[in-house]
Each structure stands twice: as C-alpha cells, then as structure tokens.
Structure 1
Amino acid sequence: MTTSAIIFMIISMLLIWGGLLTAILHLRKHPDIPMSELPKDHI
C-alpha cells in the first residue's frame, strides 16, 4: 500500500469508529422512549 492509501484508510477508520462511539455515548445520555410510554394515538 502507498502512504496516501494508508493515511486515507486511517482517516476513514477514525471517522467510522468515532461516529459509532459518538452514537453510543449519545444513546447512553438520551435513551429511546420505551414503547409502553408512547401515547396511544401515536400508533
């Protein structure tokens, strides 16, 4: 692999794993609403 390909791969991996980590942390702070708590007219 060339140097530019390795750099691009590292940047891509950081973006993907960073997005996953950000999503996990966001869901920990703001969990989804359970289906039992939704209003009946929402369905």
Structure 2
Amino acid sequence: MKKKLAAFLNDGKLDWIDVCSTLLACLLRILFVLRLEKRENT
C-alpha cells in the first residue's frame, strides 16, 4: 500500500477515490485488529 501511495505522490497524479479507499482499508484493518485484541483480553 505504501508503494502505491508513494507512486501517486511521485507522479503528481492523485486519484482521490483510490487514495480514500486505501485509507479506509487501513482504518478497517486497524479496527479489526483492535476488536480481536479486546476479545482475547476478556
């Protein structure tokens, strides 16, 4: 994902839909991991 984002910045062409979807995917992954950790703790 980082390579993808870096490629956008280097080209100077920001595809906002792609950027937003990438950020959303990261957030969902973080939330998913946090939920799993909470389940393990209880």
TM-score when scaled to structure 1? 0.60
For CA contacts below 8 A with separation 6 or more, give which structure has more relative contact order.
2
Identity of aligned residues (%): 10
Query: What's the counterpart of residue 27 of structure 1?
Result: 40
Question: How far off its partner does 1:5 sit?
Answer: 0.8
Higher helix residue share: 2
Aligned ranges for residues 1-40 of structure 1 at < 5 Å?
A: 1-29=14-42
Instruction: Decide which structure has the larger Cα Rg and report it.
Output: 1
CA RMSD after TM alignment: 0.9
Alignment coverage as a number of residue pairs: 29
Q: Which runs of 5+ in 1 are unaligned?
A: 30-43
